[in-house]
């Protein structure tokens, strides 16, 4: 069977969940695209002259300094996530999930529940699954013809986390269903995290994706209840129900839906951007690539996975998942600005939409020594790739366990290089990396 990569179906965007439907919303002017492709200079300017910038004629505020970004993300009483209602809608309105909870006490209860089923002692298991699946995929490509183009994103980077959802989460995803599940996960994520302006197209794609994946999750829960044994995430959730009747099927489904929505798309975005920054001579930040490759190759040669992942984290600082998370201000909140255009306190008004730019913060010289230098030995506390404070990504430890062996398996292939011409350029489906073709010799 010929597999269809996310957003690349022959329907021309006709499926309700096809990310091609978001393409018009993602089109940008050449000037804006140039800024987004190398935003470091404009963020540096904002950090100096207007670190808490209220954009005239809009409700938007952009926060760019490290301490200010940390402050906004920690003040969950004043800055709420904009996707709380979206989380409920994706689960048919029946149960919330941790991602949409701003109350600290309630959030702790949800987090405790998740940590009882997603356990840190599972990390070797997740890493082994990722390495096994990545190796199978890459070896399969070698058998079909070394030197042919290999789509590192659609055939590897998005596929490995879906198979972990199958074997570790316990969701019965057949091979012919993988592309659909990828598309649903990306569609739900785009709706939740990539739609601060409530574009109806994002709602249509996201809600259709939620409706499509819920029956699969219900099937997984029913199968776990029937077998009454096993050690997948779903088995653990089901086992908890006998001790705590509050863990209903709706609650289990909400948690599964939330973790799939976070795991597959976030790892796709992170791994896709890491790969684009490291391999070959793509257009993005081409002037920085010589900094990336030396430390990466050295860590791989030493078979030092911890060092390798630190290289990837530092690479991701230059090519982040996104400019930063969005928040909605729910009460007037004052920050001591300190910029040339706004010395002294500045109030973010109730109702403002806020971009807390973690991308900018991770280059702030007030906290990041030699921010434009590639430094693998930066403290982990300096990174905000997976958020900060209450809504820091609950699956960040799983991301490391999955991303490290997946990219190691690819980057250690002999003669790895970008495919020639347009095939070797990073292409997107909606806001997500979708295709980046490479070649290798074995």
pLDDT tens digits for range 177-225:
999 999 999 999 999 888 888 889 999 999 999 999 999 999 999 999 9
Q: Cα 226 to chain center, whole Å?
A: 33
Lowest mean pLDDT among 78-87, 211-220, 383-392: 383-392
Q: pLDDT higher for 176 or 370?
A: 176
pLDDT digits (tens, 9 = 90+) for 294-319: 889 899 999 999 999 999 999 999 88
Rounded to two decimals, the pTM is: 0.89
Alpha-carbon span 211 to 253, nearest angstrom: 12
pLDDT of amino acid 114: 80
On whether the CB atoms of residues 206 and 190 are closer than 8 A, the answer is: yes
Question: What mean pLDDT is reported for the chain?
Answer: 86
pLDDT digits (tens, 9 = 90+) for 336-350: 876 666 567 889 999
Q: pLDDT higher for 56 or 387?
A: 56
On whether the CB atoms of residues 205 and 191 are closer than 8 A, the answer is: yes
Lowest mean pLDDT among 123-127, 145-149, 158-162: 145-149
417 sits in the region (left: phi over 0; alpha: psi -120 to 50; else beta) called beta
CA atoms within 13 A on the CB side of 430: 32
Shortest CA distance to 362 belongs to which of 398, 322, 396, 334?
Answer: 322
As beta bridge partners, residue 61 has 54, 354
- pLDDT above 60 for 11: no
Alpha-carbon span 70 to 77, nearest angstrom: 14
On whether the CB atoms of residues 170 and 220 are closer than 8 A, the answer is: yes
Q: Write the DSSP string, 341-354.
A: TS-SEEEEPTT-EE
List of domains in the chain: 19-37+82-324+379-439 (1.10.630.10)
């Amino acid at each position: 069977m010929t597999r269809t990569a996310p957003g690349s179906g022959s329907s021309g965007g006709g499926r309700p969940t096809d990310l091609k439907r978001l393409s018009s919303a993602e089109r940008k002017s050449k000037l804006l695209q140039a800024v987004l492709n190398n935003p470091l200079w404009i963020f540096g300017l904002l950090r100096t002259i207007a670190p808490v910038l209220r954009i005239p004629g809009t409700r938007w505020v952009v926060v760019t300094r490290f301490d200010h970004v940390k402050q906004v993300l920690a003040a969950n009483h004043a800055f709420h996530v904009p996707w709380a209602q979206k989380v409920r809608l994706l689960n048919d309105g029946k149960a919330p999930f941790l991602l949409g909870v701003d109350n600290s006490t309630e959030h702790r209860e949800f987090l405790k529940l998740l940590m009882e089923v997603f356990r840190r002692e599972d990390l070797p298991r997740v890493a082994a699954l990722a390495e096994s699946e990545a190796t199978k995929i890459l070896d399969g490509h070698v058998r079909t013809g070394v030197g042919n183009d290999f789509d590192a994103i659609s055939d590897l980077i998005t596929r490995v986390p879906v198979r972990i959802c199958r074997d570790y989460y316990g969701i019965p995803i057949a091979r012919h269903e993988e592309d659909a599940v990828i598309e649903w996960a990306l569609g739900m994520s785009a709706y939740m995290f990539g739609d601060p302006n409530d574009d109806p197209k994002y709602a249509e794609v996201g809600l259709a994706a939620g409706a499509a994946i819920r029956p699969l999750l219900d099937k997984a829960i029913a199968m776990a209840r029937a077998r009454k044994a096993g050690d997948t995430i779903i088995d653990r959730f089901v086992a908890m129900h006998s001790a705590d009747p509050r863990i209903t099927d709706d609650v289990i489904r909400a948690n599964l839906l939330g973790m799939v929505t976070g795991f597959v798309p976030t790892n796709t975005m992170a791994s896709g951007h890491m790969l684009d920054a490291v391999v070959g001579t793509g257009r993005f930040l081409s002037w920085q690539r010589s900094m990336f490759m030396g430390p990466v190759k050295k860590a791989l040669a030493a078979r030092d996975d911890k060092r390798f992942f630190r290289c990837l984290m530092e690479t991701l600082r230059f090519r982040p998942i996104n400019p930063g998370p969005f928040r909605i201000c729910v009460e007037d909140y004052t920050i001591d600005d300190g910029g040339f255009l706004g010395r002294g306190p500045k109030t973010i008004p109730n109702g403002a939409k806020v971009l807390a730019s973690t991308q900018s913060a991770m280059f702030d010289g007030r906290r990041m020594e030699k921010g434009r230098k590639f430094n693998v030995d930066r403290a982990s506390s300096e990174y905000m790739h997976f958020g900060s404070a209450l809504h820091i990504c609950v699956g960040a430890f799983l991301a490391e366990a999955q991303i490290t062996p997946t990219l190691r398996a690819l980057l250690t292939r002999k003669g790895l290089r970008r495919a020639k011409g347009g095939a070797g350029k990073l292409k997107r489906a909606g806001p997500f990396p979708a295709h980046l073709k490479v070649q290798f010799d074995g």
